[in-house]
A and B are shown apart, each in its own frame.
Chain A
Amino acid sequence: MFHRNLFKLADLGRAARKGYTAPHDSTTWAHGDRGYAPLELLYGREHPDWNIRNIGCDAYLFGSMIVFFFTSVSMTSLVLSHMDPAHHHSKWTGGYDTILAYVQDGFGKALQSFAAAVPTTVRKQLMQIVTELCNPDPKLRGAVGARNGGKNFMECYVTRLDVLAYKAERGLFEELRS
């Protein structure tokens, strides 16, 4: 959505509101296209807590989009590419808890692939943001102190990305490096 040289991202295809039931809530894949889905959903894990499940999913997809900007692929595909084929969700039959350690390992390697694609000037900051947003464990998504999909869950990311945008616009990254 564009307005006065600003744009906002929106994805209303699977919109949900706490305390209300949407028509798609009862479908098996309430979170849309599995090709981009968070890892826990691919392995059949739907966290019982609404905040963790829904806000965590949004956080992951937002982080995955940052990864996509630099690598042209989603975080999900990047993590799976660093895991053994036997642990691909299409071949795994245990619950998400039983595979999480392998996913965390793939995630660590995926972050390295992402880091290699990001300019050094913003690498540290973006790595931190993506690490927080895309953690394979949905309970751990978000900045420390604002996890579990709380009220101000996304606010800090708006600020942190604003700072990066501000500095990029004014060519201040040299200062960051020093």
Chain B
Amino acid sequence: MSTIPEDRHRNVVPRLRSFITTLALGELDAPTRPVHVVDEQSLDSLERNIVAWHKNRTVPFAADVVSSAFVLNKTDAVRDAAEFLLSPASQAPDAAKLIASKIVTPNDGKSVREKIVGSSVGVPSVADVRSTVHLLRQRVKDEPRNGLLWTELAREYALVGLYDKAERAMDVAVSLGRSNRFVLRSAARLYLHIGRPGKAYYVLTRSDATRYDPWLLSAEIAVASAVKRTSQHVMAARRMLKDDSIFVFHKNELASAVGTLELQNGKIKLARDLFKSALAAPTENSVAQVEWAHRQQHIPGIDVDLERMRIETPRSFEARAWDHLLNLRWQEAFDESFHWFYDQPFSSRPVVFGSFVGGCILEDFQNTERLVRYGLTANPDDAILLNNLAFIYATSGAVDSARKEFEKIKPEQVKEVSQEIAITATDGLLEFRSGNPSAGRTLYHKAIALATGEKFRTSRALASIYLAKEEVLAATENATRALQDASREINRLSSPDSYYCQLILQRVRDFADKPHSSFRNSA
């Protein structure tokens, strides 16, 4: 069976996006208002240059004054010089025209940013990634000290599962950008993803910038939680949250991170206040974090803010996906899982989520297979993705393909009991579909036995349902009893798990009642 999308532990670990997208989302701006510096000498000099330009009206004078004004951010006074440089008659050098164009069509970056943030995203093909890697490698040869390029290169390698190369490229990036927010946050996320949590924590703690930058501080707290350590900067974070000179948006992930700590400590009211302040101007990661916290432990008084921010915050795919699932909008949840994945194409979480909704609830095997295949590009050894793909193949009748994928699962990749339950159940499914109901039944019972306790109630119910389904399909004498067992397990569940489990079981019952009707995709 597919694993149930679980997220018992979630932290506001930074996202790993491209530089241009991260920039467009506003996460790389200055967190405080700049101090206005009046430099009389420079302004006097600019004034003299403007006079000289008006007197001479030639390209060198125009370019000089435009260049100087651009550096001083006093471009209004040199607009005529910029227009002159852009006129076809001027024949100004391209570099001068470039600066002139930024003065004539001033752009604070807002419209470009909105375009990037709102642009439709998709999964690059392996060929696309290879081509980008090739270009980036060429560029790092020319610019070996460009930490952004090394970070982008690391991300591209991660997209196709080349973790060793990704780590090496990121190591170079970190050595070049020890204080840079984009580099360090990307590095922390990548190192966590490739199973180097200690390194993820280390790069953040050793940077001096972490103490002063709310984005790095939030990452440090989140990563510390993820690696089960205690953050060294919680007090500094609390002080920073009270600092009114820092823009609210720049503190949102910090508020989410500290709010999560308070929640873990049982301080619901404090957590609620922090989550509310995070939702004042959140990133999608913060929205997803608050959504998660609300799911884990009902937090009174944040529903309205959360509802609004799920809609208003760009790229809130994760939060929306979960919201759809909780409200039984299966198709919407499945669609959103694709968007979530497109935004985080190296992450397995959206794929696990989507493959469960698509494979178990909707039984849309074709699209689910597509999603899992995408996910396996960046995570070729991921046991759960391989299991879910095997489940999809087996359920849709392609037993040989299912067996092939299932055999790729490496035992060392199975890290949690919930994964072991799902994999054991899928093994049972394969045995049933290979004509060995006895072996299959034993494996299903083993999976059910593994799923003991409150924590695995849904897993137990699902394993029981899928055992019942196989018994019905194989027309064994155990079918009726298995259906009763499954029904009993479902009765112990609450929404939304009870709803989808009921839905899946109802399909089995329908087939049991009318065995000659076609069981959807279960030939």
Contacts and interface: CB of A to CB of B under 8 A. Distances in A.
Contacts of A81: 70, 98-99, 102
Nearest to A105: B148
Main secondary structure of the interface of B (DSSP, over half): helix
Interface stretch (A4-12, A33-41, A159-167): A33-41
Interface stretch (B59-67, B159-167, B504-512): B59-67
Interface string A67-106: 0101111101110110011111011111101111110110
B96 A72 contact: yes
Nearest to B29: A86
A22 interface: no
A135 B34 CA distance: 25
Interface stretch (A49-57, A110-118, A144-152, A169-177): A110-118
B93 A117 contact: yes
Nearest to A90: B73
Given A72-B93, A85-B109, A90-B34, A105 B146 contact: yes
B42 A35 contact: yes
Contacts of B31: 93-94
Given A33-B45, A90-B73, A98-B209, A70 B68 contact: no
A74 B67 CA distance: 6
Nearest to A76: B71
Interface string B175-187: 0111111110000
Given A33-B45, A86-B109, A102-B148, A72 B95 contact: yes
B108 A80 contact: no
Contacts of B33: 93
Interface in B53-94: 59-60, 63-64, 66-73, 92-94
A92 B29 CA distance: 8
Interface in B5-63: 19, 23, 28-35, 39, 41-42, 45-46, 49, 59-60, 63
Interface string A15-44: 000000000000011001111110000100
Main secondary structure of the interface of A (DSSP, over half): helix
A46 interface: no
Contacts of A84: 23, 28, 109
Contact of B181 (A73, A80, A98, A117): A98
B98 A113 contact: yes
B177 A100 contact: yes
B28 A35 contact: no
Contacts of B109: 84-86
A57 B68 CA distance: 17
- Most chain B beta-carbon contacts within 10 A, residue among A28, A88, A98, A114: A98
A143 interface: no
Contact of B179 (A34, A35, A95): A95
Contacts of A68: 64
A141 to B, nearest CB: 12
B278 interface: no
Given A88-B73, A98-B213, A137 B59 contact: no
Contacts of A129: none
Interface string B84-127: 00000000111110110010000111000000000000000000
A98 to B, nearest CB: 5
Interface residues of A, number: 47
B209 A94 contact: yes
B134 interface: no
Contacts of B41: 29, 32-34
Contacts of B72: 34-35, 90
Contact of B180 (A100, A113, A114, A116): A100
Contacts of A34: 39, 41-42, 71-72
Contacts of A33: 41-42, 45, 68
B202 interface: no
Interface in B377-427: none
- Most chain A beta-carbon contacts within 10 A, residue among B42, B49, B149, B183: B42
A154 interface: no
B74 to A, nearest CB: 9
B281 to A, nearest CB: 16
Contacts of B30: 86, 91-94
B107 A77 contact: no
A85 B182 CA distance: 16
A18 to B, nearest CB: 24
Nearest to B108: A85
A68 B60 CA distance: 10
A35 B177 contact: no
A104 B179 contact: no
Contact of B93 (A42, A70, A90, A99): A70
B107 A85 contact: yes
- Most chain A beta-carbon contacts within 10 A, residue among B46, B142, B182, B208: B142
B147 A104 contact: yes
A74 B42 CA distance: 15
A48 to B, nearest CB: 16
Interface string B133-161: 00000010011011111000000000000
A105 B46 CA distance: 27
Contact of A140 (B145, B147, B182): B145
A137 B142 CA distance: 16
Given A78-B95, A92-B34, A137-B145, A72 B42 contact: no
Contacts of A29: 39, 41-42
Nearest to B73: A90
Nearest to B140: A108
B519 interface: no
A104 B148 CA distance: 9
A36 B70 CA distance: 10
Nearest to A39: B71
Contact of A35 (B46, B63, B181): B46
A86 B28 contact: yes
13 contacts: A35-B67, A71-B93, A72-B63, A73-B93, A73-B95, A80-B70, A87-B28, A95-B209, A97-B209, A99-B180, A100-B177, A101-B146, A101-B180
Given A35-B46, A78-B99, A140-B145, 17 more contacts: A29-B39, A34-B42, A35-B69, A37-B71, A73-B63, A77-B70, A77-B71, A85-B109, A86-B23, A86-B29, A86-B109, A87-B28, A97-B178, A97-B208, A101-B177, A102-B28, A117-B94
